[in-house]
Amino acid sequence: MQKKLISDVQEYYFYYKNNKSIVPCLDDKSNEKAKLMLNNIYNNYKDNIPKRFISQWDKVKLYDPNGNIDSAHAIILDIDQGAYDIKNSLNYLTGKEWTKFTCSWFVFNALQKDLKEEQEICENCVDHPATYSPTMIEDFILFFTKEGMKVIDPFAGIGSTLVACKRTNRIGYGTELNKKYYDIILKRVPEFYKNIYNADARNIKELYNDEQFNFCISSPPYWDVLNRSTDGFKKTREGNGLDVKYSDLSNDLGNIADYDQFVGELTKIYLDIFDKLVKGAYIVIIVKNIKKGGKLYPLAWDLAKSLSNKYVLKDEKIWIQDKIQLSPYGYPYSWASNILHHYCIILKKEV
């Protein structure tokens, strides 16, 4: 429920923080000035203000945590949601919403509502062996973009990123090598059909020659890990007639056997995307470190290092899946962990 910001006695237009509570300023002159400032903000900053504020502008109040009206440049609608700074050029989040997302780790498992939505639109969505939830991607898109901005996923899969774009009023773009998965994307987000190609991500620059993007988020193949699937995963999926790897195509990155070659090819794709991003844009790459032949290959770290020649490596956000059943790997002879986390590598184009 939205917390009331209006007194039963009179209406206040300026609020500040008193200890840990947001309270109204009782000074008449300050409230008169705040009312004029709010009119000015509406007239001059309307395009940079979230729609939820604009649609309820009569309830919006001016806010400064220190109570200094002359330096106030934030507005507040609901105390529980926090204040929105009109100087925010990155997204439409309030300070409280911003802070919540900046936690360096999060737990997320597939949502039934997402799975149900997929099945209702296209029954063969389950064919793809490594999908993620649009709901999870929404959070990244909401942080790194504003409405109407362009988001690209070079490894679009069955279109989770594109669905997240649709839900958040962003414009989705993407490439997908496998024709079957590409067709699924078109069924899920037909409004983006002109922006999506059944093509190799290595051709991003040619495919989008005239485009500039505001954000890139993707989860590339985790090297050849699907080609080495064993145990329950492979047995169950094959038994149900489902794919256990992305494709048999020779140009599929997931079919590259040599690790250094794989990292090199992946790096080239993201460096091409660098040239298609606007200055100041971020990219997020969701990836894992990989085990093969009893050895750990630090894919997330190697990729981040190789991209740091052009991008600025800003941070990592760790995605944890805590519903995956543990297996006794290595028992009783040697250490072998159950890897239940992914790295969401965050990089930025600063030049």
State the Cα–Cα distance between residues 230 and 226, nearest whole angstrom: 9
CA nearest neighbour of 152 among 270, 303, 249, 305? 270
The per-residue pLDDT for 8 is 42
- Here the tokens at position 240 are 């149900």
The per-residue pLDDT for 289 is 95
The per-residue pLDDT for 246 is 55
72 dihedral zone (left: phi>0; alpha: psi -120 to 50; beta):
beta
- Here the tokens at position 337 are 């962990």
CA nearest neighbour of 344 among 306, 320, 318, 305? 318
CA 232 to chain centre: 30
The per-residue pLDDT for 229 is 57
Instruction: Cite the DSSP H helix spans in 17-80.
Output: 28-45, 51-54
**Could you tell me the fold of the domain covering 103-349?**
Rossmann fold (3.40.50)
- In the chain, which residues have pLDDT < 70? 1-9, 115, 118-131, 224-248
Hey, CA dihedral for 346, 161, 145, 107, is it positive or negative?
Answer: negative
Indicate whether this model's pTM tops 0.85: yes
Contact 216, 149 (CB under 8 A): no
The per-residue pLDDT for 238 is 53
- Here the tokens at position 335 are 């250490």
Where b means 16+ CB within 10 Å and e means fewer, 218-253 reads bbbbbbbbbbeeeeeeeeebeeeeebebbbeeeebb
Domain boundaries, the chain: 14-90, 103-349
